[in-house]
Amino acid sequence: MSLRKKCITAVNKTFEKRRQQNAAEETRRKEEVLAKIPQMAALEQEMEANMSAFMTFAFEENEKGNEKKFRAFKEKAMLLQGQRIELLYEAGFPTDYLEKVYTCAACKDTGALDEGLCRCYKKEISLEYLRLSGLERILKKQSFSDFDLNYYAKEGRPSPYQKMEYLKKYCEQYVANFASGGKNLLFYGNPGCGKSFLSAAIGKALIEEGYFVLYSPVQEIVTAFEAERFGKGGDHITTADYTDCDLLILDDLGTEFQTSFSDTTLYNLINARLNRGKPFIISTNLNLEEIEEAYHERLVSRMIYESDAFGFPDVDIRLAKKKAKSQQ
Ligand SMILES: [Zn+2]
């Protein structure tokens, strides 16, 4: 089963459980109220009888001239409702204590609205996507707004600070424009300069928009393809997920154990995504010349020349240390 389908199945189960829990809560409240207000049972019965009589009336005699009768049903319903509120209030219960219990009032916990999926359902899907995306290990609870530009030196023109400020804005724009076709990106620079973080922040923001994003070190991707080739595919991420997800973030290019199999795998994967118009982000500690040296020309041409490449400036170690000290 694809990861996407797994997510939907898991969320549907969550909703089923939610409806059951809320129904159980309704029953519990009813029993609690009846124990304290015995006359509520008769009142509830009367409300139900009135409602069922009205339904019969509306179904059988939905003709003109019955305005009066219609109004009588409505008035009685309001009167009974008023009595119920009074009884609840006098016994110290919230006045809506016997209403239906919903976690989401908009969709009544169905997850669906007339115009499509409810916001609450989309949110659960996002959370599930995020859990399976591999992004959590990088991001924990951080996002774009937590990205700290103060680690970058302000000297020089453009200064590392200015470069990163531009890059951060570029990434935010990337998310905003993703629906009209996301580009492929190549982030390169020394370890610890913010590449993984910014690419993961893009991934998280897109997941929140409902996109399915996967984040994996290149080595993990190669291992997954290898396992599947030898019939040992795990039940977690399948190679089809890497090919089909809305955005694939390949982290740490160049640290994989490079073999002809790993190169072919990367080439096929990137090629398949290019053919489908599905973007990727590559982050690497190698610079452009080193990438050209390390990989075959046809792979290089797809990684570098089909992407917007950004060289990340180093963080200023002095500033980083100073900041770490001030936070102690
Ligand atoms: Zn809802």
**Ligand 1 centroid – CA 11 distance (Å):** 12
* 187 in the same domain as 80: no
Q: Which domain holds residue 15?
A: 3-112
Q: What pLDDT was estimated at residue 141?
A: 62
- Tell me the mean pLDDT in the region 280-303: 94
3-state SS, one letter per residue, for 67-99: HHHHHHHHHHHHHHHHHHHHHHHHCCCCCCCCC
Residue pointed to by tokens 């190698």: 286
How many A from CA of 118 to the centre of ligand 1? 5
Q: Ligand 1 centre from 217 Cα, in Å?
A: 35
Residue 129 lies in a domain: no
Q: Is residue 220 part of a domain?
A: yes
Mean pLDDT calculated for residue range 216-231: 89
Q: For residue range 102-122, list pLDDT tens digits in order.
A: 999 999 999 999 999 999 998
Residues 6+ positions from 164 with CB-CB distance below 8 Å: 149, 152, 194, 312, 313
* Euclidean distance between CA atoms 62 and 191, whole angstroms: 75
Residue 275's pLDDT band, with cuts at 50, 70 and 90, is: very high
Q: At what angle do helices 67-90 and 40-60 cross, to 10 degrees?
A: 160
- Same domain for 105 and 139: no
pLDDT 10s digits, 227-239: 888 877 666 677 8
Check residues 173 and 233 and name the one with the higher pLDDT.
Answer: 173
- Look at residue 128 and tell me if it is in a domain: no
Ligand 1: distance of its center to the CA of 21 in Å?
Answer: 16
Instruction: Indicate the number of domains in the chain.
Output: 2
Q: Please state, as a whole number, how many other Cβ atoms lie within 10 Å of the Cβ of residue 71.
A: 10
In the predicted structure, residue 65 carries a pLDDT above the cut 60: no
Judge if 220 and 98 occupy the same domain: no
Q: Tell me the longest C-alpha to C-alpha distance in the chain.
A: 89
Mean pLDDT of the chain: 89
Asked whether residue 296 falls in the same domain as residue 179, the answer is yes
Q: Distance, CA 99 to ligand 1 centroid (Å)?
A: 17
For the residues 128-132, what does the mean pLDDT come to? 87
Both 105 and 185 in one domain: the answer is: no
State the average pLDDT over residues 66-70: 80
- Tokens 């917007």 map to which residue? 308
CA 109–ligand 1 middle distance (angstroms): 6
CA distance 215 to 293: 25
Instruction: Looking at the structure, tell me whether residues 107 and 231 fall in a common domain.
Output: no
Ion ligand 1 neighbours, Cβ < 5 Å:
104, 106-107, 118, 120
Q: What is the reported pLDDT for 151?
A: 84
Ligand 1 centroid to Cα of residue 122, in Å, is 9
